[in-house]
Structure 1
Amino acid sequence: MHPNPAYRHNDQALHEKLISEVAFGTVFLTTPDGPRASHVPVLAYGHDDLRFHLARTNALTPHLEGARALITINGPDGYVSPRWYDNRDTVPTWDYAALELEGTVERLSDEALETLLHDVITTFEGCLEGEPWLASESSETVWSGLFKGIAGFSLKVEERRPTFKLSQRKNADERARITAGVKPELARWMREVSE
């Protein structure tokens, strides 16, 4: 899709909401072996600090420290049918929310990685019903094995390229029909984001 400037929405709160709701992204980097991508849970620490971890054996791990990388956060998306428009003499499109975040990557210290792991567990266990699992339920052997097998990173965001293409340019009646026709999560974002 062409990232039309009309859909750029530079609202920092909107970006943070997407990152916290999705909490999963794709890290892209060109390595000596070619372009590589890794799919990771992502947590924001302030406005311009995204943290994630990878297996030490991941193809990106040895190349990330000090590199300029890209993380994408893909929110809800969906097909938009011309049947919902006043004038059906047009073509289909796709509505979506996405955020590209580019910056320099730093390796996390062991202490910062430990904090990240606990924050990931607390964040995602908190989204589930019932009694949460606690990191303390892992034995020292299991926890230290995990810790030895991963590396933590922080992407210091220097550029943001947000796209919130959510039928904002359609009239109220068309938007109502589109909102009624798409997936509920996309419809919720459509209602929240206005032109």
Structure 2
Amino acid sequence: MYTPKHFSVSERQELLRFMQEHGFAQLVSNQGDRPEANHLPFLVSQDGERLLCHLARQNPQLEQIDGQQVLVIFSGPHAYISPRWYNSPGVPTWNFQAVHVYGTARTFTDDARLTSVVNQLSEKYEAGAASPWQPEYPQKMLRAIVGVEIEITEIQGKYKLSQNRPTEDHQKMIEALNAEGETSMAEAIKQWSTP
């Protein structure tokens, strides 16, 4: 990922936090002579060394993924930034946060591991519900999915949040984004671009 120095984020704990917070990501692998991508919820292992997900057994991405170097793309808030919001001359741009993870994929079908992944995903995304769904499903349903574990070899972080703009532009951008309902991007700029 092209990442100019002022947009680069390399602090591993921050990147892991971002991946956990924005766990719905894109899994990209090679399928024959072209890339294949699927959008999936991911778990980050407790030690931060692996990603876990599962695919439907019929998903063609499974045909060649085992042992492949893959890319997982995590995306956070993003928004159009208008030059109307600058105090000095500039051009339109798009601000965003993204983390790219490279690693080696290994598939698994062990019932205990699949159960663990499904249960952890359910617990994570049911956590805020007034009466969360408790994982309860026939074991035969596990045979319809295949687990994927990705051993992380590299993490790249890019938070393009107008860090290259003068400080006086940041407050104006934050106000404009809030007015347009882009509160997540406004908060990100506030956190990462203002002193």
Contact 2:170 2:193 in 1 (8 A): no
Ranges of 4+ aligned residues in structure 1 off by more than 4 Å: none
Aligned to 2:164: 169
- The normalised TM-score by structure 1 is 0.89
* Residue 31 of structure 1, CA deviation: 1.2
Aligned AA for 2:83?
P
Could you say if the C-alpha distance between residues 110 and 22 of structure 1 is closer, same or farther in structure 2, counting changes exceeding 3 Å? same
How far did 1:12 drift? 1.4
SS of alignment partner, residue 9 of structure 2: coil
Question: Does 1:181 find its partner at 2:180?
Answer: no
**1:123 maps to which residue?**
124
| Equivalent residues of 2:27, 2:70 under 8 A apart | yes
Kindly state the Cα deviation for residue 91 of structure 1 after the two structures are TM-superposed: 1.2
Compute the displacement of 1:186 (Å).
Answer: 1.1
- Pick the aligned partner of 1:147 from 142, 147, 168: 142
Q: Normalising to structure 2: TM-score of the pair? A: 0.89
Aligned mates of 1:147, 1:100 — CA distance in 2: 29
2:7 maps to: 7
| Residues 72-122 of structure 1, C-alpha deviations (whole Å, 9 max, x = no match) | 00111000110111123x310111000110110112333222111100000
For residues 1-195 of structure 1, the aligned pairs below 5 Å read: 2-32=2-32, 34-45=34-45, 46-88=47-89, 90-108=90-108, 109-128=110-129, 130-136=130-136, 138=137, 140=138, 144-182=139-177, 183-194=182-193
Q: What letter is aligned with 1:29?
A: S
Gaps of 5+ in 1: none
Provide the C-alpha distance between the structure 1 equivalents of 2:128 and 2:184, rounded to a whole number of angstroms: 16
Q: CA deviation at 1:33?
A: 5.4
Distance apart, 1:194 and its partner CA: 4.0
CA apart distance, 1:188? 1.7
RMSD in angstroms over aligned alpha carbons? 1.7
How many residues of Structure 1 are paired with residues of Structure 2 in the alignment? 188
Secondary structure (helix, strand or coil) at the match of 1:193 reads: helix
Q: What are the ranges of 5 or more consecutive residues in structure 2 without an aligned counterpart?
A: none
Identity %: 24
